[in-house]
Amino acid sequence: AQSVTQLGSHVSVSEGALVLLRCNYSSSVPPYLFWYVQYPNQGLQLLLKYTTGATLVKGINGFEAEFKKSETSFHLTKPSAHMSDAAEYFCAVSDRASGGSYIPTFGRGTSLIVHP
Amino acid sequence: DSGVTQTPKHLITATGQRVTLRCSPRSGDLSVYWYQQSLDQGLQFLIQYYNGEERAKGNILERFSAQQFPDLHSELNLSSLELGDSALYFCASSVWDDLRGQQYFGPGTRLTVL
């Protein structure tokens, strides 16, 4: 079964600093890869996704992620953190199951804390 | 607002009871996904329906069942509830059935089992 590891349940940065949230997955076959953000008391919102093509993916709110097949990683970055970026971030992958369906698997989430 | 609606917003019930959670997808979306989010298990995929048919199954207990109706709304039925079933239940919808497309998440139903 697919697994997703998000290194660090909490990441703390200062406003204006680089944001780096790490995600590694276990599949040897490139799956679909996603980053989602969840604000308090809300559902998840897609930040960006990788399906095929260019390995550097740009998303909303200035975030981007790079798919590195050799490292089975899909780390999320943002050059300059804003206070409004404070939220929970989830990395997710989907693999094609034997029956042809796609099964999404989520990491445990990383809480991003932004200090003034 | 994602366009996905879930009712009720909160639900408090007792062990052994049965509840039904409802989800209305975005207009035009044919796929509905159900997820359970808890502190213990994180965010777990339960089940997916596409245009009325079950398409994928995740970590869904036998006490749980779901269906998608002709108008594409979906219901998740949870029976013989246990304390450990207390969680946030999300549904999400998308146009496609294969996760290529963006999933739009509803605001969730918070279930508390006492």
Selected for mutation to probe chain B from A36, A46, A88 (highest B CB count within 10 Å) is A46
Query: Which residues of A, range 13-72, sit inside 8 Å of B by Cβ?
Result: 32, 36, 41-46, 49, 51
Residue A31: the pLDDT is 72
Per-residue confidence (pLDDT) for residue A68, from 0 to 100: 92
B29 falls in which pLDDT band (50, 70, 90)?
very high
Evaluate whether B11 touches B3 at the Cβ level (below 8 Å): no
Q: List chain B residues with CB under 8 Å of A105.
A: 45
Phi first, then psi, for residue B110 (nearest 5°) are -90, 115
Q: What is the DSSP string of A73-85?
A: EEEEEESS--GGG
Cβ <8 Å between A108 and B99: no
- Nearest in space to B6 (alpha carbons), one of B112, B104, B84: B104
The CA-based dihedral angle spanning residues A13, A79, A56, A48, taken in that order and rounded to the nearest 10 degrees:
60
Cβ of A43 within 8 Å of Cβ of B48? The answer is: no
Residue B17 Cα, gap to closest chain A Cα (Å):
25
Query: For chain A, what is the mean pLDDT?
Result: 91
What is the predicted pLDDT for the residue at A21?
Answer: 98
**From B90, B97, B100, residue closest to A32, measured CB to CB:** B100
Q: What is the mean pLDDT of residues A18-45?
A: 88
Residue type, B101: G
pLDDT band at A28 (very low <50, low <70, confident <90, very high): low
CB under 8 Å to A86, separation ≥6 — which residues? A112, A113, A114
CB under 8 Å to A20, separation ≥6 — which residues? Answer: A11, A75, A76, A77
Tens digit of each residue's pLDDT (9 = 90 or more) over B67-109: 999 999 999 999 999 999 999 999 999 988 777 778 899 999 9
Give the model's pLDDT for residue A102.
78
Cβ distance A44 to B92 less than 8 Å, yes or no, reads yes
